Chain A
Amino acid sequence: MDLSFTAEERAFRDEMRDFFHTAIPERIRRKLREGLHHSNDDQIETQRILNARGIAVPNWPVAWGGQDWSPVQIYMWQDEMQQACVPFPLAFNCSMVGPVIAEFATEEHKQRFLPRAANLDDWWCQGFSEPGAGSDLASLRTTAVRDGDEWVINGQKTWTTLGQYADWIFVLARTDMAAKKQEGISFLLVDMKTPGITVRPIQTIDGGHEVNEVWFDEVRVPAGNLVGQENKGWDYAKFLLGNERTGIARIGISKSRIKRIRELAAFERVGEGRLIDEPKFREKLASVEIDLKALEMTQMRVVAQERTLPRGKPNPMSSVLKIKGSELQQATTELMMDVIGPYVAPFFTEEELEGRNEPPIGPDDAATAAPMYFNWRKISIYGGSNEIQRNILAKAVLGF
């Protein structure tokens, strides 16, 4: 047992850290550090820099631009990127549809879609959830009916993150109405410009526009846009979700949030002293850090197990990472609220914040503390709610 990193691994970590700090513009990283949303242009610019260096999609097969990295290297790449406040390569392209196309789609699909997905030439979004199909995703009711050389899609998707920028959407649709609910679903690739698609924004409680409803009204897509086999879409969806096994804890993001909390708490006054020296605050912060340290070790244990697990096979331990990782990310937003105190109150839209010339009201980051707290409640809901994760653990690990 050797819990330290090898010299090669440490050198790799340094190389990643240097690259993220020097190659990705400070103006983009600053936004994430201060809790602002980066723009879609920032996302594209960052991903193209990463892709030019060959590290936008290291988790993909080498033939399609992936890297032959060890699980430790993948972990370091993720962790350093998060700590450097670099926008993560668009998950819908890189963690979701890319690996599914690389694994299950035709050679023609691979050539057509993968290089563009890696470079963010195509912006993908996810058409999974529906108003009536959240945690019970397999009960989805959007249909795709074969008509000659086309599929005709009807239905409604929701929580479509960043769908307003998307060029393509990958859709789960019911293609066999008679089959058991998991067995009649197919995985389709749909051009967002296809007639009959309507995108409507959903405003979330932080005031932001991140998610959308996507309506399909007699949307006709070529038969060839089916991925893999008809009615096997549920298997591909499970593969897609099982691929994200370790990054889900987002420990690097929590670390960078805590770093920021420490910086700002050093400026806040309490009585004669600083907030950061206040024993109660300090202990609350230390508590979160201790949990985060434990989660980091748990993540390393899962990373070590990765060597022996086949690609796309879910590791139930990633549910532990999701539960604790989401709780800790949310805990950092509460700590930030504590730091900002009464100055969490003033509300500005993102547009007002980005265009403003006046000094901020109250401490730095005051304007983003409450929106982030509100917005990050989503983390324990999306990607399989924490209750679903507990169901998974109850079944897969405890044998209930």
Chain B
Amino acid sequence: MDFDLSDDQRMIKDSVERLIADRYGFESRRALMRNPEGWSREMWAQMAELGLLGVAFDEAHGGFGGGPVETMLIAEAFGRGLVVEPYFATVVLGAGLIRRAGSADQQAAYLPQVASGELLLAFAHHERHARNDLAHVAATATEQDGVWTITGEKSLVLHGDTADKVIVSARVAGETTDHNGIGLFVVDAVGLNRRGYATQDGQRAAEIAFDATPAEAVLSLDGFPAIAATVDAAIAFVCAEAVGGMAEMHSSTVDYMKTRKQFGRAIGEFQVLQHRAVDMFVNLEQSRSMALYATMMAEEPDAAERARAISSAKVAIGRNGRAVGQEAIQLHGGIAMTMEYKVGHYFKRMTMIEKLFGDTEHHLAKVAQAGGAL
């Protein structure tokens, strides 16, 4: 057991942290977000240049041959920077599904384009009444003359407004909540009926309607296992991202307490506030531990063991992220209530992560049903 990084991993960490430090300060981020698409294509090209987009792909697909640890390092740095480029949608979700469900030919066709930054993806899966049920798919896919067409409405599609291609889940058999009979299709986004919008945390999403829309490729006609595995990996990603955000909130709070003066002294001299900052630190460290655990279990082949670990991590991150975020705002006081100040933006991202892919209550119930976390 060791927590040390390999030389290659340290190189990735250094390069992504340098990118965030140099190019992703609070003001720079606001400038990036002023692009019409809500993020920067130039930044995306730079991420491709640094090899971040293909970090987990095989070398044959233009990748780096990395795994969950490399992805975690990127996620944590992105969390510190509150990155708005569509990495999660394209690389973690879109390419994640292609890697898990696609054929060798499909992987060879799509993944190099993702790694080079030419192809943006999104995962059109969630539907209006699915809530936390990953198997809830009412959209349908039917085949005629060798062509599959999709009909149905997909909601909250992260970065669905700018994706070049969309991976769509659609039912090929069974009832709306059956695990079996969910197909995964690649649909060209040109001409799609999609309504894009901003999210609370400065990301983008879209509502997308499919009306006998033809698919350009079928990844799988039994896609649920790949969906579950990809979503588990995605949760591991946002757990690490949340740790980056919590670390920023915590250090920002501690710095502020050392400089902010009231009653003639730095507020950090008050023990009651020190202890609250310590509790934030304890929550941060416990979160870091669970993000590591999620990383360690993200590619676990036993789906039940993997899901139990990932749900445990999501619960811990959800609770700690909420506590750290609320305390960061409280300990800063009024300044943290302003859009001009960075802490509130981390708090908003934490809050959205808690609701993403199943909230705390949902994952807690899953862990409990699975017989506990140990």
Could you list which residues of chain A lie within 8 angstroms of chain B, going by C-beta atoms?
1-6, 9, 72, 255, 258, 262, 279, 282-283, 285-287, 289-298, 300-301, 304, 317, 320, 323-324, 387, 390-391, 393-394, 397-400
What separation, in Å, do the CA atoms of A400 and B331 have in the docked complex? 15
Q: Closest residue of chain B to A283, judged by CB?
A: B368
Question: What is the interface of chain B, defined by CB distance below 8 A to chain A?
Answer: 1-6, 9, 69, 254, 257-258, 268-269, 271, 274-275, 277-279, 281-282, 285-290, 292-293, 296, 312, 315-316, 364-365, 367-369, 372-374
With beta carbons under 8 angstroms apart, the residue of A262, A289, A324 that contacts B282 is: A324
CB distance from A119 to the nearest CB of B (A): 32
What's the least CB distance linking A314 to chain B, in Å? 16
Shortest Cβ distance from A110 into chain B, in angstroms?
34
Q: Which of B5, B293, B367 contacts A286 (CB 8 A)?
A: B367
Given contacts A293-B374, A294-B290, A320-B282, contact A1 B9 (CB under 8 A): yes
A3 and B292 contact, Cβ closer than 8 Å, known pairs A285-B368, A390-B274: yes
* A interface secondary structure, majority: helix
30 contacts between A and B (CB under 8 A): A1-B2, A1-B6, A2-B1, A4-B1, A4-B296, A9-B1, A258-B372, A282-B372, A283-B365, A286-B364, A289-B312, A289-B373, A291-B316, A293-B374, A294-B316, A296-B289, A298-B289, A304-B2, A304-B3, A320-B282, A323-B282, A324-B286, A394-B271, A394-B274, A398-B254, A398-B277, A399-B258, A400-B269, A400-B274, A400-B277
Interface pair A398/B2, CB less than 8 Å apart: no
Q: Which residues of A contact B372 (CB under 8 A)?
A: 258, 262, 282, 285-286, 289
**Tally of contacts, chain A with chain B, CB under 8 A:** 129
A297 touches B365 (CB 8 A): no
Residues on B with beta carbons closer than 8 Å to the beta carbon of A262: 372
Indicate the member of B277, B288, B374 with the most A CB atoms within 10 Å: B374
CB-based contact A297/B373 at 8 Å: no
Q: Complex formed: what's the CA distance from A60 to B281 in Å?
A: 32
Contact (Cβ within 8 A) A287 B364: yes
Cβ–Cβ < 8 Å partners of A298 in chain B: 285-286, 288-289
Neighbour of A400 across the interface among B258, B316, B373, B374, CB < 8 A = B258
- Which B residue's beta carbon lies closest to that of A323? B282
Contacts of A285 in B (CB 8 A): 368, 372
Contact check, B274 vs A282: say whether CB atoms are below 8 A apart: no
The residue from A5, A297, A317 contacting B293, defined by CB atoms under 8 A apart: A297
Residues of chain B contacted by A72 (CB below 8 angstroms): 1
> Are B6's CB and A294's CB within 8 A?
no
User: How long is the Cα–Cα vector from A320 to B269 in the complex, in angstroms?
Assistant: 21
- Give the docked Cα–Cα distance between A285 and B2 (Å): 30
Kindly state the separation between the CA atoms of A36 and B364 in the bound complex, as whole angstroms. 32
- Chain A nearest CB: distance from B373 CB in Å? 4
Q: A279-B368, A283-B365, A287-B364 are in contact. Are A399 and B254 (CB under 8 A)?
A: yes
Chain B contacts for A400, CB-based, 8 A:
254, 257-258, 268-269, 274, 277
Give the residue name and chain of the A residue nearest to B373 (CB): A289
Q: Is the CB of A387 within 8 A of B268?
A: no
Structural contact, B285 and A320, CB atoms closer than 8 A:
yes
Nearest A-chain residue to B370, judged by Cβ? A286
Q: Assess the A390–B1 pair: CB atoms within 8 A.
A: no
| Of listed B1, B5, B279, B369, residue having the most chain A CB within 10 A | B1
Chain A min CB distance to B102 (Å): 28
Do B3 and A1 touch (CB < 8 A)? Answer: yes
